[in-house]
Amino acid sequence: MLAPVESLLPGLDARTDADLTVTSPINGAELARLRSHSVEEVQECVARSVRAFRTWRDVPAPVRGELVRRFGERLRAEKEALAHLVTLECGKILEEGRGEVQEMIDVCDFAVGLSRQLYGLTIHSERPRHSMQELWLPLGPVAVISAFNFPVAVWAWNAALALVCGDPVLWKPSEKTPLTALACQRIFDEVAAGFAEAPEGLSQVVIGRAEVGNALVEDTRIPLVSATGSCRMGRIVGPKVAARFGRSLLELGGNNAIVVTQSADLGVAIPSILFGSVGTAGQRCTSTRRVFVHSSIADDVFGRLSRAFEEIGSQRIGDPLETGTLVGPLIDKDAFENMERAIEAIRPRATQIVGGGRTLEDRFPGGYYVRPALVRLERQSAEVFEETFAPLTYVIPYDSLEEVIEEHNAVPQGLSSAIMTTDLREAEYFRNRSDCGIVNVNIGTSGAEIGGAFGGEKETGGGRESGSDSWKAYMRRVTSTTYYGIERPALAQGVRFDA
């Protein structure tokens, strides 16, 4: 067993009757074998979570925050080992693995502050001697279903907030990355064991594939299902939760674009496009898939990008644990085949294709490493509307800002967008017209900070999590009116009812 797995998950080898083999995308090596939870076991976990809720909701919010503070402290101590495990299990470069754990720490800090700021409004009543206020109260058990590409941060975004809001958490990680989840759970359990107010079952992990996630989705005892993953998954989960009048928070696929205008500073634009396109091997929901370039600079921008893609493709792909690697492997063979299919589909329309294809198969026969691909098109076509979860970027020329924003908004997804410009009018126009949840200026589409609300529109699902007032999704709102007069109370809207 590899060192970080052993240090974070001692005793994992001892498991028997396993049905889920966890492999590393780095070389296909087996990391562990796990047993999935049965539907009955998931239901028992939910029952435990309901019991935990009865205790946890009565713990004062700042005390709940103290537990999250301690958890954040432990994450600081375990950062390197956990980052290493993230890299081993999902293949992102170690630097990004560290960034992901840092994101967990940051959101814990944010949630600790929030635990003293779960403010409601006081509202002036239209009636004499009435006072109105809003209370925000704990909601109940929250299910978190997460994707492979952010195996720990997305859970932390949800869990840190849910916990300070008074909600227990049930986490179903991706079947491709369950070890990082078990490691987080182990760290959480150790912190909770030393915290008298934390009930048993406050945070639990259930292991398995879609059917285990489905057991959470269909359980009426869970008022909120926060699901991160593909639009395909959201299309199944969303209606099921709605059918039982549950609440869902959907964080689904993206198809993100950068518009490079005539006034752009290319010294700012090119690095942003590169990180967005090839960083995390193109496996971020916010990865840059489309680049619209003003036709007057299209040759220049394509030339610069293609040189950079070629250099990265020939020199900077490799073992994500090694310093100097910028692009690690794809998660698995399916991801590689999807990329191949997407390139074949667009080939007849492409005027130029740079990169693409598998590499390093001699060194890593069990890993799927690809050269990032850059495809030049004359115009956007239907093939581009699909999210290909790999480093595949389309470059498309445009002439007018009004028209390019129409093209930009034409895809079904609406997560992240960016404009590269030094013209204030272009920037403001884009900010107001892009239909995405994230609209950046002179910053690429990926690499969000936890302080802002994160999420997107249309088929991205409409959810918002992490910063700003996203916490409201994890609580229920009570509007309360009090009458403190001694006369017969007045009715709202001046209605008279003289019985």
252 interacts with ligand NAD by CB under 6 A: yes
User: According to CB under 6 A, which one of 389, 394, 430, 471 is a site residue for ligand NAD?
Assistant: 389
Pick the piece of the chain touching ligand NAD (CB under 6 A) from 67-75, 146-154, 197-205, 468-476: 146-154
Neighbours of 73 (CB within 10 A): 13
Judged by beta carbon, residue 261 or residue 287, the one nearer ligand NAD is 287
With residue 394 as reference, give the H or E element that holds it: strand 392-398
The two three-digit tokens of residue 120, written as one number: 């409601």
Angle between helix 94-114 and 61-90 (nearest 10): 170
Please tell me the distance from the alpha carbon of residue 438 to that of residue 378, in angstroms, as a whole number.
26
46 interacts with ligand NAD by CB under 6 A: no
With residue 184 as reference, give the H or E element that holds it: helix 178-193
> Which amino acid, 127?
R
Neighbours of 74 (CB within 10 A): 16
Binding mask 97-136 for ligand NAD (x = CB under 6 A): ----------------------------------------
426 interacts with ligand NAD by CB under 6 A: no
237 interacts with ligand NAD by CB under 6 A: yes
User: According to CB under 6 A, which one of 39, 236, 441, 490 is a site residue for ligand NAD?
Assistant: 236
Neighbouring residues of 358: CB distance < 8 A, sequence distance ≥ 6: 336, 368, 369, 370
Please tell me the distance from the alpha carbon of residue 410 to that of residue 4, in angstroms, as a whole number.
44
Complete DSSP assignment for 79-124? HHHHHHHHHHHH---HHHHHHHHHHHHHHHHHHHHHTT-----EEE
User: According to CB under 6 A, which one of 52, 160, 285, 475 is a site residue for ligand NAD?
Assistant: 285
Choice among 90, 285, 426, 436 that is catalytic: 285
233 interacts with ligand NAD by CB under 6 A: yes
Q: Under a CB-based contact definition with an 8 Å cutoff, are residues 26 and 321 in contact? A: yes
Choice among 78, 103, 251, 386 that is catalytic: 251
148 interacts with ligand NAD by CB under 6 A: yes
Tell which residue, 212, 209, 192, 210, has the closest CA to residue 200: 192
Size of the site for ligand NAD (CB under 6 A): 30
Judged by beta carbon, residue 167 or residue 459, the one nearer ligand NAD is 459
User: According to CB under 6 A, which one of 210, 345, 353, 490 is a site residue for ligand NAD?
Assistant: 210
The two three-digit tokens of residue 220, written as one number: 């009426």
The two three-digit tokens of residue 313, written as one number: 């493709």
Judged by beta carbon, residue 192 or residue 224, the one nearer ligand NAD is 224
Least separation, in Å, of the C-beta of 274 and ligand NAD? 19
User: According to CB under 6 A, which one of 36, 115, 214, 226 is a site residue for ligand NAD?
Assistant: 214
238 interacts with ligand NAD by CB under 6 A: no
Judged by beta carbon, residue 389 or residue 471, the one nearer ligand NAD is 389
36 interacts with ligand NAD by CB under 6 A: no
Q: Under a CB-based contact definition with an 8 Å cutoff, are residues 423 and 442 in contact? A: no
Whether 436 sits among the annotated catalytic residues: the reply is: no
Tell the residue number behind the tokens 């269909």, with chain if given.
218
333 interacts with ligand NAD by CB under 6 A: no
Whether 251 sits among the annotated catalytic residues: the reply is: yes
Please tell me the distance from the alpha carbon of residue 330 to that of residue 273, in angstroms, as a whole number.
19
- State the DSSP code for 201: T
Count helices and strands (H / E) in the chain: 13, 23
293 interacts with ligand NAD by CB under 6 A: no
Residues that bind ligand NAD (CB under 6 A): 145-150, 154, 172, 174-175, 209-210, 213-214, 217, 228-230, 233, 236-237, 251-254, 285, 387, 389, 415, 460
Catalytic residues: 251, 285
